[in-house]
A and B are shown apart, each in its own frame.
Chain A
Amino acid sequence: MEDPGGGPGNEQTNGGGSGLSRALARARAVDEGPEGLNCFLSLSQALDPGGEEGGGPLAGVPVAVKDNICTLELPTTCGSRFLEGYESPFQATVVRKVREAGGFVVGKTNMDEFGMGSSTENSAYGPTRNPRDPSRVPGGSSGGSAAAVAAGVVPCALGSDTGGSVRQPAAFCGVVGVKPTYGRVSRYGLVAFASSLDQIGTFGATVEDAARLLEVAAGHDPRDATSARRSVPSFVDALDDGVKGKVIGIPREYLTEALDPGVATSFAQARERLREAGAILRDVSLPHTRYAVPTYYILAPAEASSNLARFDGIRYGVRALGSGSTREVYEASRSQGFGAEVVRRIILGTFALSAGYHDEYYERAQKVRSLICRDFRRIWAEGVDLLFTPTSPTPAFPLGERVRDPLAMYLSDIFTVTANLAGIPAVSVPIDPVQGLPCGGQFLAPPWEETRMLAGAAALERSYASDGGLSHG
């Protein structure tokens, strides 16, 4: 493996057509063979860049795209058997924007089926391996995008984050992962998992790479009623702002006994670096944090059970023929097309919305969600500029370890789901590795304060860089 922190982005940024062929060659190389990483589900067949001619902030930059974001030339399978070979007749707004900015889509990346998972092991097309340690998972659900950046195939990639699906794999793979404010990036063309939580996010080899792609992706889209009518500031220009004088809250609820001791140590060191960079650290409390995972695992499956109803085998995707009635076609098509985790969540979500349980589960979860939002609002009102937490309680775990233990898997999201529930922006940035495995620190910011948040992430990144960069194993 190449050093993922070694700036492949800078190397490829000015590559033009050769940038594409280099990225494609690299993609084939890392995915090659039975021990390959399996980052990509499909690769561009284009011989020329495919992006718009001329300049643009992403001129010549190869970009990997998670396979739940619709593209015109490549299939969009969402990691599901159900959509094997499915080609969308339209492209996602973000893909159009990337192309218009001069970037080109190298390929579509592996993921947990429909975004449901934290390890990319729930893909119908086999798991992705972690470039840092191929015996371990890359995290998920955007594991393919994170691994493609970590392996130096692309400087930046698009993912989607419903409960941590960009930030957790970024932490596991040692790259930067941003989940912007809900409504900052159009969801048009993102195959929905849980619409009120889903947000397209970006990966970068560096904070700057992730910020540049986000700047292109962001902005109001008339095709998405939940996208915000807000101007997009330059995220890249703000990276020099630093954290001097900024109040950074450390929420005590995130430093639980679930936290791996190695991660705790690494996090404590990162905190000191922020202090050295001039931040004012403050111990804060977000009391409803402990309800976040249960709340998330009611609301996300509830929305998913409805969002995935369209996969009925009537118009596209798997259609099981043979048996007679429409109902049987639905049952057979969905049974054949969906994997175990998807079925589990559809059942959970259907239950949470069903008559007699709706109030007890769905309604109550909505109430708790608003309490979690209130926690954050109170913290910002108290003058806290940013929050800083570990991204994940543990580093990357071995392939197969949690795949049969859904509850253990769900707890991987314990520090990330709150940002989705509250709709606020968050970023994971590499901190000191734990026993050679990458580790991430997470900044959370008030809504629409991505600039302040990315400046914080960049300050931490620079602090490590000035000491010779992060040591990996």
Chain B
Amino acid sequence: MAEDQSMEAVIGLEIHVQLQTREKLFCADVVNFGAPPNTHVCPVCLGLPGALPVLNREAVALAIRTSLAFGCTVHRRSVFARKNYFYPDLPKGYQISQFEEPLATGGQVPVRLEGEEVPHLVRIRRIHMEEDAGKSIHDRFPEATAVDLNRTGTPLVEMVSEPDFRTPEQVRAYLDQVKRTLEYLEVSDCNMEEGSLRVDANVSIRPQGVTELGTKTELKNMNSFSNVEKALRVEISRQIRLVAEGGQVEHQTLLWDERAGDVRPMRSKEESHDYRYFPDPDLPALELSEAWIADLREGLPELPEERRRRFVSEYGLPEYDAGVLTAHRSLADYFEETVEQTDDPKESSNWLMGPILGLMKERDETAAELPVRPKGLASLIELVDSAVVNRRVARQVLEKMAESGRGGAEAPSAIVEEAGLAQISDAGQLQSWVEDALAAHPEEVARYRGGERRLQGFFMGEVMKRSRGKADPGEVARILGQALKG
């Protein structure tokens, strides 16, 4: 449609991230996903009369690390405020958050789209701390809502971007980058299904070239990155269609309905809150020392962008490999530990990008969880290098390592020994397999000699079959070549 070309979408994101602390933000209850309902609660997070919040320094440290990693300015002074609203899973009738004076402001996140050389910079407006609410469970009992307060008081950071996205693809790339960074920081497990990372989006459209923003809608209830993308596509086309038909976009909150693949308005009763923010008088302003902030900055790990650049410069890897390998901190660690042993970055990278990623996918494990450890992989690569096994057999050995849970440096040679998988280079043995294979297929031999050179592969396979895959392919090719000449 012509209209589509003339309109652009403007998207901003709010991301809530649960911080992985041992204890809750304002009390000593242990944060625990999946515990029986209402077992990790105390007078403070239950909001019992007389209970008072006390700030958890560990959560502050994680929030500061997060802010620094996204290039934000961490303020020496920030203020906790009460966001007042009634909801059954909000025991105090207010959420402790930060409003006018947030922890950090003004950061940026480099976002790379495939095929684009220069990363697109997304500005971060603010990062603030707040406590999570409990969970309302509507589908457990007919006619009743159950409330589980285990999650109440879990520390969160909310990260608000500027409306710097124009396409759902940019949003997706940003989310991947944010998640990657959070994983590198080890501040959150970023599990969207368990709610440890939640994404809301503000969406509006405007004619290309116009700088004012259109009326936005707020999109909620998207429980995976791909749902965020889908919901954005649906909402952008809805707005464009609406305007094309002469309608106007209404400011409202929309819920993504995954089953219907569509958005639906939240009941108006559920929105239009006046939160009556004011500074929480139970908590003094959060004053941070320059020294502590500096310490935390010092302690930041190498972040994904830096590591990716280093993988290119230090190991000479192609951009693509570097991107894949640094997508997860544990995979990048795995790679570096492997290279430390093999001293062969490209070969190590090939193994990781192929068989190891395959295993991870098949077993649904992270690189850190994989039973095959980098030292085990490195010795396997050495066995290939020293022609003890060929590549094909090496992959079998890798499978066996994963299955048996033997992943250490000793495992590959032990498995090769036990299963008799060592490569056979003995010329006499190879000669007899070759002769046997040619004798069994006189017709093909004749065709080959008649010029059908591509039958070379067929004979290779026949010899390999006879050796159960253990024949040294280089040697076989040499002997086969001579025999076929004959």
| A contact set with B: CB distance below 8 Å | 68-70, 76, 78, 83, 86, 88-90, 92, 187-192, 194-196, 222-226, 302-303, 305-306, 308-312, 314-316, 326-327, 330, 350, 353-355, 358, 362
Contacts and interface: CB of A to CB of B under 8 A. Distances in A.
A355 B52 CA distance: 27
Given A195-B282, A225-B283, A309 B92 contact: yes
B93 A226 contact: no
Contacts of B51: 90, 188-189
B425 interface: no
Contact of B48 (A68, A89, A312): A89
22 contacts: A70-B50, A88-B43, A89-B48, A92-B50, A189-B50, A191-B49, A223-B52, A224-B52, A224-B54, A226-B281, A303-B281, A305-B84, A306-B278, A310-B47, A312-B86, A314-B88, A315-B46, A316-B48, A353-B84, A355-B276, A358-B276, A358-B278
Closest 3 CB pairs of A and B: A309-B93, A196-B281, A195-B281
Contacts of A68: 50
A145 to B, nearest CB: 17
A314 B147 contact: yes
A326 B52 contact: no
A225 B55 contact: yes
A349 to B, nearest CB: 9
A327 B86 CA distance: 8
Nearest to B54: A225
A280 B23 CA distance: 55
B426 to A, nearest CB: 76
A362 B50 contact: no
A353 B278 CA distance: 8
Contacts of A355: 274, 276
Residue of B49, B54, B282 contacting most chain A CB atoms (<10 Å):
B49
A306 B147 contact: no
A309 B92 CA distance: 6
A188 B282 CA distance: 10
A83 B43 contact: no
Contacts of A90: 43, 48, 50-51
Interface of B: 43, 46-55, 82, 84, 86-88, 91-94, 145, 147, 274, 276-278, 281-284
A343 to B, nearest CB: 15
A83 B86 contact: no
A306 B54 contact: no
A92 B49 CA distance: 10
B52 A187 contact: yes
Contact of B53 (A225, A311, A354): A225
A77 to B, nearest CB: 10
Contacts of B276: 305-306, 350, 353-355, 358
B51 to A, nearest CB: 7
Given A187-B52, A191-B49, A192-B50, 6 more contacts: A88-B49, A305-B84, A308-B93, A309-B84, A310-B91, A355-B274
A78 B86 CA distance: 22
Nearest to A186: B52
**Interface SS majority for chain A:** loop
Contacts of B53: 225
A153 B51 CA distance: 30
A92 B43 CA distance: 12
Residue of B54, B86, B278 contacting most chain A CB atoms (<10 Å):
B278
A89 to B, nearest CB: 6
Contacts, number: 104
Contacts of B92: 309-310
Contacts of B145: 326
Given A70-B49, A89-B48, A222 B88 contact: no
A182 to B, nearest CB: 10
B226 to A, nearest CB: 33
A285 B347 CA distance: 85
Contacts of A189: 50-51
Contacts of A70: 49-50
A187 B52 CA distance: 8
A225 B276 CA distance: 23
A305 B277 CA distance: 12
Nearest to A92: B50
Contacts of B48: 88-90, 316
Contacts of A76: 49-50
Contacts of A308: 93
A225 B88 contact: no
Contacts of A303: 278, 281
A70 B46 CA distance: 15
Contacts of B54: 222-225
Contacts of A192: 49-50, 282
Nearest to B86: A330
A353 B276 CA distance: 5
Contacts of A314: 88, 91, 147
Nearest to B46: A315
Given A92-B50, A225-B52, A312-B93, A306 B284 contact: no
Contacts of B47: 310, 315
Contacts of B284: 225-226
B82 A306 contact: yes
Contacts of B93: 306, 308-310, 312
B84 A306 contact: yes
A69 B87 CA distance: 26
A315 B86 CA distance: 13
A226 B84 CA distance: 21
A309 B94 contact: yes
Given A306-B82, A353-B276, A188 B52 contact: yes
A86 B49 contact: yes
A309 B50 contact: no
Contacts of A196: 281
Contacts of A69: 50
A196 B82 CA distance: 13
A6 B248 CA distance: 80
A326 B270 CA distance: 12
Contacts of B82: 306
Contacts of A353: 84, 276-278
Residue of A308, A315, A355 contacting most chain B CB atoms (<10 Å):
A315
Contacts of B46: 315
B101 to A, nearest CB: 14
Nearest to B38: A315
A91 to B, nearest CB: 9
Nearest to A194: B281
Contact of A188 (B50, B55, B91, B94): B50
A314 B48 CA distance: 12
B141 to A, nearest CB: 14
B282 A226 contact: yes
Contacts of A191: 49-50
A354 B274 CA distance: 7
A301 to B, nearest CB: 12
A190 B50 contact: yes
Residue of A68, A90, A92 contacting most chain B CB atoms (<10 Å):
A90
A192 B43 CA distance: 14
Contacts of A330: 86
A88 B42 CA distance: 12
Contacts of B86: 309, 312, 326-327, 330
A312 to B, nearest CB: 6
A189 B86 CA distance: 23
A67 to B, nearest CB: 11
Contacts of B282: 192, 195, 225-226
Contacts of B281: 194-196, 226, 303
Nearest to B147: A314
A306 B283 CA distance: 14
Given A225-B54, A314-B147, A83 B49 contact: yes
Contacts of A88: 43, 48-50
A189 B43 CA distance: 10
Nearest to B88: A314
B232 to A, nearest CB: 29
B42 to A, nearest CB: 9
